[in-house]
Amino acid sequence: MHIGRRTTGTKERLFALVTPTWTGTLPDNVTPIVTETAQGWLLGRILVTGPDDFTAAQSLVEQIWLAPLDEFNAETKYQAPEPMNAKKQDAKTSLEFFAVLNRVLKTLPSRPGEAALIAQFDQIGVGPNATFDVDQLSAAQRKGLQRAMDDAEQIIKASTQRTIASFNGWMISKDIGRYDYRYMHRAAVVKGGYGNVPEESLYPAAVFDSNGNLLDGSNEFRITFKAGQLPPVNGFWSLSAYQLTSAKLAPNSINRYSIGNLTQGISYNPDGSLTLILQHEVPKHNQTNWLPLPKGHFMLVMRLYEPQQKVLDNEWILPSIERL
């Protein structure tokens, strides 16, 4: 779910995160947002247009706060207690994972059609009707559960490298954020962090040029949007280049890591089209349209925020990546 410009506007408002079974009463000026579960991951984003915008953005961040309903006061910012610095095992790599899973399954609401699946979790002692205790496990059980974790890590890693539908050389996933019963798809997305629903943002990616060759920073590339064919978004769009092996940005001489419609000084061709210059070395001409590339193989990622319906319906397709 999203709270923001597309769904709720940008004016100051108060929201309450409540579960589907919550039956309390909210103040008149508080809008309920129904969450699927009692626990979740809250992420916020504020657009920063450049170094001069950091102060204003930080000011907005500091105006966002959370409070338990029984301590909520619309006139006073809630001061949250300092978090405890308790040492815990990494639940992603140790058997503590199953203890966390057991606790969570006891509180998650059941979904239609999952009774048989949940019964299997109960059989291994981690389901909602069981109580997991790592100290009570035999050596064989420990070994088996650890093997399951190791295998699952490799299976999910392989799933993140699965084939995605390609349009003109750009891989575009339009089913993120709505997983239903596709558990592997959810796990693959979560391994990378999180994902927005397509109406909020899309992230087309490419690793090959128009001739099917891996993108390599030793070559020069161009992407040209025809006049009237710029990415149709209600938010903004940008393009970034990442090192293929590490998926990280590479330092460059002008400290530019994305280029798009918010880039200052970007220039258009006489016919209204837009050409982006992609290369490692500084171009001799039109440096304002230059996106520096890493050395070696790289991946291009577009960001389309609030894409219009023609993007969602594949009526608008990104132009191909031309190698010079």
For 146-165, the pLDDT digits (tens) are 999 999 999 998 888 776 77
* Residue 105 and residue 79 in one domain: no
* 195 and 288 assigned to the same domain: yes
Output the pLDDT for position 131: 94
Read off the pLDDT of each residue in 60-78 and give the average, rounded to a whole number.
90
The answer to whether 197 touches 176, Cβ cutoff 8 Å, is yes
Of the three residues 84, 117, 133, the one that is the final residue of a domain is: 84
Pair (196, 301) in one structural domain: yes
Which of 84, 117, 144 is at the close of a domain? Answer: 84
Query: According to the model, what pLDDT value does residue 217 have?
Result: 96
Q: Which residues contact 129 (CB under 8 A, 6 or more apart)?
A: 122
Distance set, CA 306 to CA 58, 133, 195, 197 (Å): 23, 46, 14, 10
Is 146 inside a domain boundary?
Answer: yes
* Residue 234 shares a structural domain with residue 272: yes
Closest CA to 320 of 167, 97, 154: 167
Among 160, 194, 212, give the residue marking a domain's end: 160
Query: Residue 90: is its pLDDT beyond 70?
Result: no
Domain tally, the chain: 3
Cα–Cα distance for residue pair 216/303, rounded to 1 Å: 21
Cα(260)–Cα(283) distance, integer angstroms:
18
149 alpha-carbon distance from chain centroid: 24
Which pLDDT does position 51 carry in this prediction? 86
Give the mean model confidence (pLDDT) for residues 7-22: 91
**Could you give phi then psi for residue 205, rounded to 5 degrees?**
-130, 150
Residue 210 confidence (pLDDT) above 90: no
In a domain, 173, yes or no: no
DSSP state of 233: B
CA distance 63 to 61: 5
State the pairing for strand pair 290-292/30-34. Answer: unpaired
Say which range, 85-94, 212-221, 265-274, has the weakest mean pLDDT. 85-94
My answer on whether 102 and 74 are in the same domain is no
Q: Which domain holds residue 243?
A: 183-323
Q: Closest Cα partner for 230 from 147, 302, 296? A: 302
Mean pLDDT taken over the chain: 90
| pTM of the shown model | 0.85
* Overall average pLDDT of the 166-181 stretch: 86
Q: Are residues 57 and 118 in the same domain?
A: no
**211 and 282 belong to one structural domain:** yes
Statement: residue 89 has pLDDT above 60: no
Task: Give the pLDDT score at 281.
Answer: 95
Instruction: Indicate whether 170 belongs to any domain.
Output: no
Q: Is residue 165 part of a domain?
A: no
Q: Are residues 213 and 317 in the same domain?
A: yes
In DSSP terms, which residues pair with 222 in a beta bridge?
277, 322
| Helices of type H across 173-262 | 183-191
The verdict on residue 192 lying in a domain is yes
Nearest to 186 by CA among 199, 175, 171, 198: 175
Rounded-to-integer distance, Cα 252 and Cα 82, Å: 39
Q: How confident is the model at residue 141 (pLDDT cuts 50, 70, 90)?
A: very high
CATH number at residue 313: 2.60.120.600
- The pLDDT, as a whole number, for residue 177 is 85
In a domain, 239, yes or no: yes
Per-residue pLDDT at 88 exceeds 70: no
What is 266-290 written as a DSSP string?
A: ----TTS-EEEEEESSPPSS-GGGE
107 inside domain: yes
Asked whether the beta carbons of 239 and 289 are under 8 A apart, the reply is no
Q: Are residues 317 and 190 in the same domain?
A: yes
Question: What pLDDT shows up at residue 80?
Answer: 82
Same domain, 226 and 312: yes
Distance CA 203, CA 52 (A): 27
Q: Which two tokens stand for residue 166?
A: 């390609």
Q: Quick one: 202 and 302 in the same domain?
A: yes
* Helices 183-191 and 139-160, axial angle in degrees (round to 10): 80
**One domain for residues 218 and 278:** yes
- Please indicate, yes or no, if residue 167 is contained in any of the structural domains: no
